[in-house]
Amino acid sequence: MRKKTALIHGGTGVDQATGAVTPPIYQTSTYKQEKIGKLKGYEYSRTANPTRTSIETLIADLEGGVRGFAFGSGMAAIHAVFQLLSSGDHIVMTDDVYGGTYRLMKRVLPKFGIEVTFVDTTDLKATEEAIQPNTKMLYLETPTNPLLKVTDIEAVSHLAKSYELTVVVDNTFSTPYFQQPLALGADIVLHSATKYVGGHSDVVAGLVVVKDENLGEDLHFIQNSTGGILGPQDSFLLVRGLRTLGIRMDAIEETAHALVDFLKTQDSVTKIFYPGLADHPGHATQAKQATGFGGMISFDVGSAENAERLVEATRYFTLAESLGAVESLISVPARMTHASIPAERRAELGITDGLVRISVGLEDVEDLKEDLEQAFSLLTKFSEKNV
Ligand SMILES: *Cc1c(COP(=O)(O)O)cnc(C)c1O
């Protein structure tokens, strides 16, 4: 089955009980037992629910893993994965991870004796040097947010194997349509399904897929014991979202390239971050390990004032956090998604005050270009006024 077909025919398929072609929403907490302990595979919905099984099976198929898990948010999924560790363990992690992941590492996990070292995982030597005797996990995000740095998953996984580390990849930005980290050597892949998987800005959810049964049993034990599960309605929405992931990503990719070409013509843009650009440092790696460059573009407009003016002037690019939906979104990472990261640390990472991030949606590309054009024209006037 090729990818676009797997999005539609993968997973549990037609409902066995009724023949329904879309997964029924099993809005039930418990299941009748014919006799004590005689069940039809379901006992209590924290442990398992058939609608949740639909999305968990589908994402496992799409990522090429053995078992999938759906959680109430991306952060709940990420936290569940860290619960595979014990007090005293150490994680090596990509330095510019999602702000919420950074906060979890800095403010929650230390209370439980789990330590982290942040490192530029695009640098294999630096990554190896960050490994300690108590390191158990190597956690990658690629491409990153908002600078779209690309880590070579295969090379890092190869390194991790020699130290017996579990490799985890946050695959939110590339989606299983473009990139399958398990095939590149990772052990666990996870998503904020709130983004491209759901795809319509109408659900908050997280997904995890593991490469083998042992990890599957461990993670199911954690999911059932800690209880951060996704409900049946939201599970249904994720299956529905995934059906169109292929055509959405193809269209988003095409528009992203057109918008990058447009941004290149703008005088006020001092720098563009997009892995699809031949001069982006991660271009070759992304081209090797993924089948697309994605729909996230960041660019620098030189100052906080310019960034604010631009994002408040667009009509079709909605000023909002989040990404990966049908509507195009625009944001200023330093003041929105990455505001919880101290200014000093943002400066170290290169997240400047003039950095603007867009998530390309499915609108007509000409409207999106015109929208940016009118916003950029205000920007020029604004900066002239301030000369
Ligand atoms: C949004 C996001 C998360 C967190 O997911 P939530 O669904 O918001 O909890 C994690 N990683 C990345 C890359 C994200 O973009």
pLDDT digits (tens, 9 = 90+) for 213-229: 999 999 999 999 999 99
Q: What domains sit in the chain, N to C, each tagged with a CATH number?
A: 3-243 (3.40.640.10), 246-385 (3.90.1150.10)
- pLDDT recorded at residue 290: 98
- pLDDT recorded at residue 383: 53
Question: What percentage of the chain carries pLDDT values higher than 70?
Answer: 98
User: What atom in ligand 1 is closest to the CA of residue 172?
Assistant: 13
170 in catalytic set: yes
In the set 67, 136, 195, 211, the catalytic residue is: 195
User: What atom in ligand 1 is closest to the CA of residue 145?
Assistant: 13
Task: Decide whether any atom of ligand 1 lies within 6 Å of the 73 Cβ.
Answer: yes
- pLDDT recorded at residue 382: 53
Write the residue with the smallest CA distance to atom 7 of ligand 1.
Answer: 74
Read off the tokens for 46: 């924290």
Write down the pTM of the prediction: 0.96
- pLDDT recorded at residue 176: 98
In the set 89, 96, 170, 353, the catalytic residue is: 170
* Cα–Cα nearest to 186, from 217, 208, 218, 219: 208
Left (φ > 0), alpha (ψ -120 to 50) or beta: where does 37 sit? left
Q: Which residues of the chain have pLDDT under 50?
A: 385, 387
Task: Decide whether any atom of ligand 1 lies within 6 Å of the 195 Cβ.
Answer: yes
- pLDDT recorded at residue 338: 86
Name the residue of 69, 98, 321 whose CB sits within 8 Å of the most ligand 1 atoms, as the mutation to test its pocket. 98
Task: Decide whether any atom of ligand 1 lies within 6 Å of the 184 Cβ.
Answer: no
- pLDDT recorded at residue 169: 98
- pLDDT recorded at residue 387: 47
Task: Decide whether any atom of ligand 1 lies within 6 Å of the 74 Cβ.
Answer: yes
Q: Please, are residues 148 and 301 in contact by the beta-carbon 8 Å criterion?
A: no
